[in-house]
Amino acid sequence: MKLGEETSHPEGAAVPPAVDAGSPPRVHGQTQRSPHRLRRAVGPWGSYTWGYADVGADIYVALGLVIASAEGFANVAFLFAGLVYVTVGLAYTELSAMYPLAGGGQLYVLRGLGDFWGFVAGWAVLLDFTIDIALFAYFSSGYIDHFFPRLSQAPWIIVESIVLVLALMTLNVIGVKESSKLNEIASAIDIAAETTLVVIGFTFAFDPAFYWHQVTMFAQHFDATKLMFGTSLAIISFVGLESISQAAQETERPTTVIPRTSIALILTILAYALALSNLALGVIPWQTYNPGSTGAQFCHHLSTAACSAEHLAHENAPVAWLAIHVPGIGQFIAPVIAILGAVLLLISSNAGVYGSSRIMYSMSLNNLTPKVFTYVHPKFRTPVVTLVVFCVIAVGELVFSGLTPNAAVTLGDLYAFGAATSYTLVFVSLLTLRFTDRETPRTFKVPWNVLFHRRGEAYEVPIVGVLGLLGIASVLLMTIITHPIGRVAGPVWIILGLAGFYLYRRGRGLPFYGSAARDWPSEQLAVYEESGETALADEYRVALRKKSRKNSRPAIR
């Protein structure tokens, strides 16, 4: 059975709108719309918490990794990555408001740069999704082990993580997944808890002199490699904004709601990342997150095994470890932070499980990957092939990471590479679409645009988009320079994907580097009409008619 045969998907299911399984795509690769569409039931708060449940969990992972790497300049690493994240968020906001369809960055690159680069972007995102499954399951186990410190060691934490991944796979295969309501409740509680931690921490625990000591000590012994390594890991704190754009096809009035919720999410995550990183440097020694320093300086009273367990408990549950050191409320809020961290990280891991099905479905629909990835289970009506394949890959990544000296850093290496690669292509697509698709209404534009004229036409180039491209390209370069596993495994993943892409396209009689023709305007109008954006549909039709009349004019000799 293929997606689009008579199926019934649960509300908010991870399977995008289906097509007629019995018919191939239109001639020259054009896709078909189907009467089976995802239900639009996500409002502003639901859209915001959909993203927060994914992005908000990232700081629970990145805080310890970045402090251990960038040491006293961890706040600088978070600041640079945060500024890049703001530009990424603005780019996604413009593009998701333009194209309110499931698919996220992969769809935007497909629209802007064509099939080849659309595949590369999608394949890089899929690397992130598999790492998402593994990395967040690993840290979810780490926060659970806040209550059982001795389990925060290999192989036990790897075994725990694998069990969580297999449980998520099973739940998704039978059609059970986290609901929007769970996102809303968990996100609201977490925002309250993190805000309390930040306010009380800065009021009663933050030591300006100690903070200045940690920062200046690193400045005196400045190590550019450590700062680059920490900055490339800090980008992990901001990965996941794509969740809002992936839910665009299930969002009410997406061209209005998505820009508002995206901007709110950008500001929220940036504020928490900067606040928590600076708070940590003013409360606890950065060495408590560093494997090379903990045993020598902070575990004199413990046995080697106990010291190792205590350090790993800090490293695998960094926000809970910070919370413990807040006087007065530490002993009460740390367990709450640990439970919330475990829940949010498990939701984020699950986002990787069902997100992979969204991306693979979109790529299969657009003739980038084999149609087998649109197969659904005849009983459970879920994309079982995609779910099993990518969960098995995630399990393999967990096993591999468990064989390395630091499983969290190993997984973080690959995560940073996939995110930086995909975001770089999204920026290139954003700039390209400013020239190639001027007809689609832009209810939100990346700010600070430079107007110039070319051949009698006016174009706007976003300065923020150019700066964002340079910023994320520098993060990609940092990742390649400082991540020995990422710079090998990441490109190998892309190369293997391109080999499969070549064989598939050759078998289908489609160009490897070129693009199949698609009826994008019809697809766009159908989305506007279906989502109730009739004014935008009318505006788009007028723009298309103007373009058609202009193109039909005879050339002036």
Give the pLDDT confidence of 72-103 residue by residue, as tens digits: 999 999 999 999 999 998 999 899 888 877 67
pLDDT of residue 102: 66
pTM of structure: 0.82
Report the 3 state secondary structure along 361-406: HHHHHCCCCCHHHHECCCCCCCCHHHHHHHHHHHHHHHHHHHCCCC
Q: Which of 333, 332, 317, 54 is nearest to 193 (CA)?
A: 333
Distance CA 479, CA 484 (A): 9
CB 15 within 8 A of CB 173: no
- Is the C-alpha dihedral spanning 26, 29, 35, 36 positive or negative? positive
Q: How confident is the model at residue 523 (pLDDT cuts 50, 70, 90)?
A: confident
pLDDT of residue 288: 84
pLDDT of residue 550: 79
Helix (H) or strand (E) holding 460: strand 457-462
Q: How confident is the model at residue 493 (pLDDT cuts 50, 70, 90)?
A: very high
What mean pLDDT value characterizes the chain? 81
pLDDT of residue 150: 76
Q: How confident is the model at residue 32 (pLDDT cuts 50, 70, 90)?
A: very low
Partnered with residue 5 across adjacent β-strands are 3
Q: Minimum mean pLDDT among 15-19, 56-60, 259-263, 343-347: which range?
A: 15-19
Q: Which of 421, 101, 62 is nearest to 274 (CA)?
A: 62
Region 27-518: CATH code: 1.20.1740.10
Given a cut of 60, whether residue 20 has pLDDT beyond it is no
Given a cut of 50, whether residue 17 has pLDDT beyond it is no
Q: Minimum mean pLDDT among 93-97, 136-140, 422-426, 460-464: which range?
A: 93-97
Q: Which of 427, 387, 412 is nearest to 172 (CA)?
A: 387
pLDDT of residue 123: 93
pLDDT of residue 496: 96
pLDDT of residue 246: 63
Q: How confident is the model at residue 247 (pLDDT cuts 50, 70, 90)?
A: low
Neighbours of 208 (CB within 10 A): 8
Percent of the chain at pLDDT above 70?
83
Distance CA 364, CA 383 (A): 12
pLDDT of residue 248: 63
pLDDT of residue 310: 47
Q: Minimum mean pLDDT among 204-208, 298-302, 412-416, 426-430: which range?
A: 298-302
Q: How confident is the model at residue 215 (pLDDT cuts 50, 70, 90)?
A: very high
Best-predicted range by mean pLDDT among 139-153, 210-224, 233-247? 210-224
Mean pLDDT of 337-343: 90
Mean pLDDT of 472-487: 90
- Residues with Cβ within 8 Å of 345's Cβ and at least 6 positions away in sequence, in order, are 57, 60, 61, 136, 137, 139, 140, 143
pLDDT of residue 283: 93
Given a cut of 90, whether residue 472 has pLDDT beyond it is yes
Given a cut of 60, whether residue 328 has pLDDT beyond it is yes
Given a cut of 80, whether residue 182 has pLDDT beyond it is no
